[in-house]
Structures are given as C-alpha cells and as structure tokens.
Amino acid sequence: MIVRVDLGVVEFDLSEPTTALLDRGLEGAVREAHRAAAVEVHAMLETELVGARECPECGAGLSVVKTSRRKIGLLCGPVVVPVRTFGCACGFSSRPLARALPKGRHSLAVLERGLYLATMIGYQRSAETLSHLTAAEISHGTLQRMAKAEAPRIDARIKETTRELYGNGVAPEELVARTRADTLVVAVDGGFVPDRSTGYDFEAKCGVVYGSKAEVSKGRVELVDRVAYAGIEDARTFGERMSVVALEQGMLSAGRTIVIGDGAGWIRRMARDVFPDAVYVLDLYHLKHRIWQVFPEQWEVQVRDEVVSACVAGDPAGALRVLKATKPAQERLEAWRKLLFYIRSNALGIENYTRTDLFGSGCVEKAVDVLISRRFKLRGMSWLKPGAQGMVKLKVLRYNRTWNDHWGSRFTEAA
Ligand SMILES: [Zn+2]
C-alpha cells in the first residue's frame, strides 16, 4: 500500500534570525508534525485494514464496539494511538490495527538507535543519550531486554548455515574467493566477563578470520577483510560456527589455513575437530608473556631468549631442557611449573612454528578488547549470561560493519 503523509504547514516562531535557532526550531516543529502525522497515519492504516467494514463470517456490517488507546514510543516521542475493536452481531470481533503495531511499546527505529548506543556505553546512559539526541523515551531496562532478545535473531543465519553444514553436509557459499598464494588465518581467544550470578567470570569466545598474502619483498601483508564471530556458548557450537565463517571467508580456495590460539585446551581441541586440515600454532605473544612472567628480571634475559629461540625454532623439547636447567626464584616456582606444563601441552602448536612465518596475531587481541573488554568491564559492571550474549552479538555486528544489513532486514520483517 501507498500512504501519503501530509505534514501540513510546519510553523514556529523564530525569535532571532540565526542558523542555530532555525535548526533547533525546525527540528522541534517537525517533531510535532511527526507526532500528529503518526496518529493520523495509524488511523488511515486502520481504515485500510478494516476494508469494506463487512463481517467476514456473516457479511453483515461491522461497527466499532470499543476504542482502546495504545502508547507507542517513536523517535519524535511517545504518541497515543486509538485502536478500535470492530464487532458484529454474530459475535465476530477484530482489532485490525493491533496487527500493525509493534509488539512492545516502542518502534523498531527507537530500539535500533538505543541498542546502537548501548554497544558503546551502559544501558542507563544509552537511554539518557537517546532521549537527548531524539525525543524518544525508552527505559534502560527495556533496552537491556531488547539486547537479550536480539541475540537469536542475529544468530539465525549462522545457526542455519551451520546446521546445513554439519547436519546435511552442505557447505556454505564462499563469499570471498582466495588464491593458492593466500593464507587464511583463524585467530581464536577468550575474554572474561564478570558474572553477576556467581561473582566470578564467564568466558566469551571470540574469533577473527582474515586473509594474509605472502609478498615476495616486504614480508606478509594482512588484508583488511577481517570478520569476527563471538558468543557466550559451548566450544562445540562456537567451533562449528567459526568453521562456517572460515569457509565463507575462502578457506577452501586459500592455499592453507592457520589456526592461532593462546594455548587453551578448548581451542586446541577445536582446531583438531573442526579445522583438521589447518596448521595449529600457539600464539607467540601469549607464550612470550608466560616466559616473561617466570623470568622478568633484566639479568634473566639470556634464559628468556634461549627459551623463546628454541620455541620459535619449533623445538619444544629444547625449550623444556633450558627451562628445567634454570629454576627461577622461589616465589616464581609455581609459575615455572605451570610454564613447563604449558609448553608440554602445547608442543604441537610450537612445533608448527617451522611450518609458517605467522606466529601470532595482534588482531584477535584487539578484537577481544573491542568486543569484550571495553563494554563488559565498564565501571565495575557485571552481567548475566543471556544479557551478555545479546550484547556480544550486537558488538559483532558493529565490528563486522553488518549492523545496517541486520537492521535493514529487521525493518523489512517487522510490524
Ligand atoms: Zn458477523
């Protein structure tokens, strides 16, 4: 249907002829016209929906039996819309406009803008900022609930693609075609979110997939086509979905795939189970950090360098020999034992340094920081898992620049 909206004459008093007052005055006047038009257009919609006012059951004429009022939050502020119930003597009754109105108390446009802010600042401040920037009024609690409710909608596509792959063996479409000279990097990490229900932390899993091209003269070139996926979910769900992202990002056409992890067991198992053809390497940044924790002093530089060199040469046994021969100070003995265990359990990821010149990725550290740390650790914040899940998914949309795609389809589907 086509709805012609007549905003009428927008009038306001301009006390001084300045651009500043003109801009503000116009916005206010248009906002008022917006509110009036919204009420009018809803009445038009209702007339359109009720059609010939004939009862679909018996053909008799319908009459208005009740008028209720619905308050709806719009960008121009809240409006009250009359919603009529049409009835027939035969007992039929219908509220046609109810179908066209949003299920909640706000338009999708208000929610989208509120959630956009909420990916950067707390819910309370998002609600305040939204009402400052527009005339929309929405509570922080509503924004919080809406973030939680958005998670399954954001995940719907990847959930289905993953089911197709693992359930029916149908591979996803390759969105990026690569060449045999390209390496696809899958960097995976976990970020910790303070848990409101236990007082401890829970883990948000985070992965970034990007292409890397070997350039003959200048070393490696990392292409700016990184795509992230993150969620508060079990390792299997996360791993399978990461593999879908990697396939879409050209894992099959690339010459090889490298999975980089920080040494966490779930990442090693994920590499083995869902990336069986990839080369798994231990993130050298994490490994070096561990070595530094055991030997932080200036005078320990030699042992530090020897351990790192052995590792980079793909010789975890050599690194263990150096370590065992050099016990650190008493207070770092525990960290030293943990390092021995870490190198032993990550031997494969260290041996594989000989198979690649990619040792790590600042890219995933950065992604964890952007997707998890910044938003989830604002001023002593703590989270419940479903709420955090919604926020992680919204943040991934921002990171991947797919926010407008997602909300575009939400607007198409929504009432
Ligand atoms: Zn009837």
Which of 43, 53, 38, 46 is CA-nearest to residue 7? 38
Single out the residue in 317, 342, 359 at which a domain terminates.
359
Give me ligand 1 centre to Cα 57, in Å: 5
Residue 262 maps to a domain? no
Q: Which two tokens stand for residue 212?
A: 């890397």
pLDDT for position 1: 73
Residue 81 maps to a domain? yes
Give me ligand 1 centre to Cα 82, in Å: 23
β-bridge partners, 183: 212, 256
> Is-contact 261 271, C-beta < 8 A?
yes
Give me ligand 1 centre to Cα 59, in Å: 6
Give me ligand 1 centre to Cα 277, in Å: 67
Full domain range(s) for residue 97: 1-8+22-46+62-101
Give me ligand 1 centre to Cα 49, in Å: 17
Residue 348 maps to a domain? yes
> Is-contact 33 10, C-beta < 8 A?
yes
Residue 252 maps to a domain? no
Which of 378, 305, 308 is CA-nearest to residue 343? 308
Which of 103, 53, 58, 101 is CA-nearest to residue 80? 101
Single out the residue in 318, 340, 359 at which a domain terminates.
359
pLDDT for position 34: 94
Please state the separation of Cα 86 from the chain's center in Å: 43
One digit per residue, pLDDT tens: the chain, 415 residues?
777 888 878 888 888 889 999 999 999 999 999 999 999 999 999 998 888 888 989 999 999 999 999 999 999 999 999 999 999 999 999 999 988 898 889 999 999 999 999 999 999 999 999 999 999 999 999 999 999 999 999 999 999 999 999 999 999 998 988 988 889 999 998 888 889 999 899 999 999 998 877 665 666 666 667 899 999 999 999 999 999 999 999 999 999 999 999 889 999 999 999 999 999 999 988 899 999 999 999 999 999 999 999 999 999 999 999 999 988 888 999 999 999 999 999 999 999 999 887 777 666 777 788 888 778 877 778 889 999 999 999 999 999 999 999 999 999 987 6
Residue 330 maps to a domain? yes
Residue 414 maps to a domain? no
User: Residue 230 to residues 101, 158, 280: CA-CA distances in angstroms?
Assistant: 33, 12, 20
Residue 304 maps to a domain? yes
Give me ligand 1 centre to Cα 405, in Å: 44
What does the alpha-carbon distance between residue 153 and residue 394 come to, in Å, rounded to a whole number? 10
Give me ligand 1 centre to Cα 283, in Å: 72
- Identify the H or E element spanning 149: helix 140-168
Residue 14 maps to a domain? no
Please compute, for residue 275, the number of CA atoms within 13 A of its CA located in the half-sphere on the CB side: 32
pLDDT for position 219: 66
> Is-contact 208 364, C-beta < 8 A?
yes
Give me ligand 1 centre to Cα 47, in Å: 18
Give me ligand 1 centre to Cα 45, in Å: 22
Give me ligand 1 centre to Cα 61, in Å: 7
* CA end-to-end span of the chain: 14
Give me ligand 1 centre to Cα 100, in Å: 23
Structurally, the chain folds into a number of domains equal to: 2
Give me ligand 1 centre to Cα 98, in Å: 20
Give me ligand 1 centre to Cα 93, in Å: 8
Strand 182-194 relative to strand 256-261, pairing = parallel
Single out the residue in 308, 332, 359 at which a domain terminates.
359
Give me ligand 1 centre to Cα 89, in Å: 6
What does the alpha-carbon distance between residue 182 and residue 358 come to, in Å, rounded to a whole number? 13
